[in-house]
Amino acid sequence: MKKISILSLSALLIPAFLLSAKEEKKEADPLIPPVVTPGVHGVPDKAGTPPSDAIVLFDGKNFNEWEAGKGGEVKWKLVDGAMEVVRGGGSIRTKRKLGYGQYHVEWRTPEIVKGSGQGRGNSGFFPLGGPEVQVLDSYKNSTYTHGQAGAVYNRYPPLVNACRPPGVWQSYDVIVHAPIQDKDGKYVRKSAYTVLHNGVLIQDNMEVGGQVGRTGQLALQDHGNPVRYRNIWFRPYRDPIPMKRK
């Protein structure tokens, strides 16, 4: 019979929770990038899913994470796994304050086109309360460039117009960069937006102001048009991991 050494026997007797604690400790090493299971991107017929470390702000089921723009109950409605602006219901905002980091949202302007210019599928996405990343049906719809879809409203037109037709789901990925200070605390750059519209870069690191440590609610605009939203999530800013040469 094969002898079992005292060493291997003791290994068998180590409780499982101690082993898992050891594993967790390994994952918590700040010099090792933590593992994140990515979600999938939404397509026009199907909502995407968030990455495993995201704070899910809207999964199509309820308004638990949301309140009216001035507090109180949300007056928008839930339709087919999305939320829809109700005219006169007012803008809405997240209950929780968020900060710099990565925001994701899918949105859809009405299939039946009504109005023109700023009156066509207008809503808005306001990370940390603003400035606004314009939501608009900009598909063959002319308006002033700093007010079209993907504009940082009244500041920066988008680099290109990557808008899908009305009634088709689209996405924004909005990275709100934390400000950068030099060693004396002087701002080298204030907060900035980078925006991808349907995966296309439309705002490239555009400064919008915002101090270190700023937090605020994400808001969505009621501009009177029944725009829909789904799959909204946020991942907080992470400090860069320093290079460690062996």
Of 29-37, 115-123, 167-175, 178-186, which segment contacts Mg ion by CB under 5 A? 115-123
Total of residues contacting Mg ion (CB under 5 A): 4
Looking at beta carbons only, is 74 or 220 nearer to Mg ion? 220
- DSSP-derived letter for residue 155 is T
Site for Mg ion contains 127 (CB under 5 A): no
**How far is residue 240's CA from residue 183's CA, in Å, rounded to a whole number?**
16
Dihedral in degrees, nearest 10, Cα atoms 144, 150, 156, 161: -60
Looking at beta carbons only, is 82 or 149 nearer to Mg ion? 149
**How far is residue 153's CA from residue 155's CA, in Å, rounded to a whole number?**
5
**How far is residue 93's CA from residue 18's CA, in Å, rounded to a whole number?**
42
Looking at beta carbons only, is 94 or 138 nearer to Mg ion? 138
Least distance in angstroms from the C-beta of 136 to Mg ion = 6
Site for Mg ion contains 226 (CB under 5 A): no
Cβ atoms 235, 53 nearer than 8 A: yes
Least distance in angstroms from the C-beta of 68 to Mg ion = 17
Of 28-36, 121-129, 202-210, 229-237, which segment contacts Mg ion by CB under 5 A? 121-129
Looking at beta carbons only, is 153 or 233 nearer to Mg ion? 153
Least distance in angstroms from the C-beta of 235 to Mg ion = 24
- CA-nearest of 170, 152, 40, 53 to 102 is 53
Site for Mg ion contains 124 (CB under 5 A): yes
- CA-nearest of 222, 212, 217 to 232 is 217
Of 47-55, 84-92, 167-175, 223-231, which segment contacts Mg ion by CB under 5 A? 223-231
- Cα end-to-end distance, the chain, whole Å: 45
Least distance in angstroms from the C-beta of 166 to Mg ion = 16
**How far is residue 94's CA from residue 194's CA, in Å, rounded to a whole number?**
21
Site for Mg ion contains 150 (CB under 5 A): no
Which residues of the shown chain bind Mg ion in the complex (CB under 5 A)? 122, 124, 221, 223
